[in-house]
Amino acid sequence: MKPLSPEQRTDRQRIRDTILRMLARREHSEAEVRQKMQMRGFDMTIVQTELADFQQRNWQNDIRFTEQFVRQRIARGQGEVRIRYELRMQQISDELINAAIGEQDVDWFELAKQTHDRRFGEPGSLTLKQKQQHQRLLQSKGFTTDQIQFACPCKYHR
């Protein structure tokens, strides 16, 4: 392997510093780091080399990222469907997603109810339009139809 030129050494240090700053703020998935570095116009071969070093040192870890992501989204009142979708968009494997979600002791039905009640208060008598609005919110948060029905058993009147 031939030695790096001063320009390449500078690029390597800039890449290393940029990745380090990213990871110091919050966990990032490998795919997210690569995408952000590509958007910044860095040489992707150097990025991949540095990212591999970061992974070897356990500074970047998709398992840790996935676990933190799941905990954070549950705390925000998001459902399993949305969490899975967002993690797949981060190119996280289903195996890692299943493991991270399985580690959480969460009652998705109760979380849907808490999310609903936090936004709308206790369910009461609603118009059909209001009930649909409540259901759409829970659906956008990533809850299943059964969970939505549990969280919003609102009786509506015409």
What CATH number does the domain containing 151 carry? 1.10.10
On whether residue 34 sits in a domain, the answer given is: yes
On whether residue 86 sits in a domain, the answer given is: yes
Give me the pLDDT at residue 10, please: 81
The Cα–Cα gap between 13 and 16 comes to 5
Whether residues 70 and 43 share a domain: the answer is no
Give me the pLDDT at residue 9, please: 62
The Cα–Cα gap between 134 and 131 comes to 5
On whether residue 55 sits in a domain, the answer given is: no
Amino acid identity, position 96: L
* Residues composing the chain: 158
C-alpha to C-alpha distances, 92 to 66, 82, 145, nearest whole angstrom: 8, 14, 25
Instruction: Decide if 135 contacts 143 (C-beta within 8 A).
Output: no
The Cα–Cα gap between 33 and 54 comes to 11
On whether residue 118 sits in a domain, the answer given is: yes
The Cα–Cα gap between 123 and 116 comes to 9
On whether residue 72 sits in a domain, the answer given is: yes
**Domain interval for residue 15:** 9-19+28-48
Nearest Cα residue to 65 out of 28, 92, 96, 98: 28
Per-residue pLDDT of the chain (158 residues; tens, 9 = 90+): 566 566 656 889 999 999 999 999 999 999 999 999 999 999 999 999 999 999 999 999 999 999 999 999 999 999 999 999 999 999 999 999 999 999 999 999 999 999 999 988 876 677 888 889 999 999 999 999 999 999 887 766 55
Whether residues 120 and 150 share a domain: the answer is yes
**Burial annotation 53-62 (CB, 10 A radius, 16+ → b, else e):** ebeeeeebbb
Give me the pLDDT at residue 1, please: 55
Whether residues 81 and 119 share a domain: the answer is no
Domain count of the fold of the chain: 3
On whether residue 3 sits in a domain, the answer given is: no
Whether residues 89 and 114 share a domain: the answer is no
The Cα–Cα gap between 156 and 141 comes to 22
Whether residues 37 and 77 share a domain: the answer is no
